[in-house]
Structure 1
């Protein structure tokens, strides 16, 4: 493995991580809720759920941010090599996984670990291990 030092951008990655942490902290302080995307999306889909307004605004911000970025700089190219069936399968597996784990990577990985939650630490370790195993199997065993 080698690093393309011309494309290595630690400062933008650090700034992005800091902004994600800041947004999660402000959301928790303002609303008393975790900024987990699966939970916020789930609350939008439940009729009569509390906090639907702030959930909708938070999720809208996730959709508007790339549009605003595109006004000032070129967006990175999106590459997905598995086709529509792979994308649908991946989405279903992630959706099922977030239900079993009672949250997603943003809820457990960003918010839960920051609160020193043992359950979130275990969930995040499981997410990461599953991702590593999937990449290993697809790239090295199946040659994809």
Structure 2
């Protein structure tokens, strides 16, 4: 097969939505936070910087629907709700950690590629008669580097 991978497109259609959900930043942060043990909603909210209450609720519901997170309600006053990873959710830790390690190992190369791409795009825009200097379309916002360079 010369290094090529056979792709079953019918499987891709089934796999892609799951990868999109479990691969989004909030899901990854929730899974890794819950990897440390059961947490209450408010503890998750405090532990995950920048997540809104609504986004946390929606993401937890999606993870619960997919069988990655279990929700347990205790009939106390006020009601207490705990969230924990299921066995399936715990099995997601290994690939998430591996993906994070891959990103860490390739940060410099990714940052360099982004800078080169943005520079080439800017040069193309400046040289193109289709994008005159007086064009009203703003240039794309520069991407922040994945990490601060020393």
TM-score by length of 1: 0.29
More helix by share: 1
More strand by share: 2
Larger radius of gyration: 2
